[in-house]
Structure formats: C-alpha cells, structure tokens
Amino acid sequence: MALQIGDTAPDFEADTTEGRIRFYDYIDGSWAVLFSHPKNYTPVCTTELGYTAKLGDEFAKRGVKVMGLSVDALDNHDGWLKDIEETQGSALNFPLIADSDRKVATLYEMIHPNASDSMTVRSVFVIGPDKKIKLTMNYPASTGRNFDEILRVIDSLQLTANHKVATPVNWKHGEDVIIVPAVTNEEAKVQYPDGWKEVRPYLRIVPQPR
C-alpha cells in the first residue's frame, strides 16, 4: 500500500553526492523534502534540480532540508551535476541519492508499474520534524514540478502546525486564513481579540497569525 499522509517516513541509508547518508540523521528534527527523478541526464530533471538549488535560501529560511534521488550510479552523477550547473546557472547544494539498486525508490513506492517498470515517477514527499509524511505528490515523467508551489505548501503546513487555522484556495504567506471549525467562537475571541470576518458560521476569516 502506498505511503499516505500521516504515515512515518521510512528511514534508509544511501550513497549520495555528499557521501553516505542516513536519512533520519540528515533531517535531524527538521522539515524535509525528498523528491525523485526518473534517471540522470533527463532534460526536465535538469531544470528542476537547478531551480531547487536556486531556492536553497528559501528552503533554509523555512528550516527545510532537501534531498533528491535518481536511479543511477554515483559515478554517473558527477557529469550530470556539471551539466546542471552549466545549463541552469546554479550548482547543486543538497544531496542527490544514487539509487541504482532502487532500494529507496521501492521503499517509498516511487516506481509505478503502469508508468514504467524501472524509472521513478516525479514523486515529492514533504516530511515534518516528527518524521511524519505531510504531503505527497506524483507527476508524470513529462511534466516538470512547480517548486514555488512546494514552498507555498510548506508555508501552509508550518503555519497550520502551530495555529488552529487552515489556509484557503491559492493562499500565500501573509494572506488571511480560516479559523478551523473545531475552535468555538468563545475560544476564537481569546485567540483573536480583534475579531474576524464571519462569512458563514463555519467560514471565519482572520489575518494570518504572526
């Protein structure tokens, strides 16, 4: 059965472009993003890895550690990393797993037999400090991922982990949020003394908590 939101992210050890890494030691109580690539030297992946590297400061600002995966051998990664830097203008600043035996891809069910019996699809896992999976996404091999959207989701996940709110459609950091139904009006008055906008009794809009 596929890993679901709320499941514990499996631990593993793997060779990466930054040496042998145990996943739990690497994330070490931080938020994390683990994302896979069909194989080395694929054009869409080249653009994704370069852009993710450019977002390094944004991930760091949110306390997020990033790790990529490709089902190719480690000695095949070096040339690809050079291509990524030359074509995308940014050197990789996070580990890229060499998963030639597909152990990690299998552990995280990144290979979908109906899509390919050997290559991973473009899987994304956002993992919380509690090692629980907070988000999963799968893209077909032909479609590049939107890493700005992944940052947006992380903003929402981190906000809602600390406050009893939910984020509405297309929400971005700094915009109004929704008081969750589990919070009564009496409780909301304590948390939000300046009040809120009640569109419906179940739809109460309030500025984002700081």
Asked if the domains at 13-145 and 163-206 fall in one CATH topology, the answer is no
Provide the pLDDT for residue 127.
98
Dist CA 76 CA 135 (whole Å): 30
Residue 22: HSE in the Cβ half-sphere, 13 Å Cα cutoff = 4
Task: Look at domain 163-206 and name its CATH class.
Answer: alpha beta
Provide the pLDDT for residue 116.
54
pLDDT tens for each residue of 109-136: 887 665 555 555 679 999 999 999 999 9
Provide the pLDDT for residue 145.
92
Q: What phi and psi, each to the nearest 5 degrees, are found at residue 54? A: -65, -25
Q: Which CATH superfamily is domain 13-145 in?
A: Glutaredoxin (3.40.30.10)
| Below-50 pLDDT ranges, the chain | none
| Residue 68 near residue 61 (C-beta atoms within 8 A) | no
Domain ranges of the chain: 13-145, 163-206
Provide the pLDDT for residue 38.
73
| Residue 197 burial (10 A CB sphere; 0-12, 13-18, 19+) | exposed
Provide the pLDDT for residue 210.
83
> Which tokens go with 61?
């600002």
Provide the pLDDT for residue 114.
56
Q: Which residues are catalytic?
A: 45
> Which tokens go with 153?
């989701």
In what helix (H) or strand (E) does residue 106 lie, and over which residues does it extend?
helix 103-107
pTM: 0.92
DSSP 109-126: T---TTT-SSS--EEEEE
Provide the pLDDT for residue 115.
52
Sheet holding 122-127, edge to edge: 19-22, 13-16, 96-98, 64-70, 31-37, 122-127, 133-139
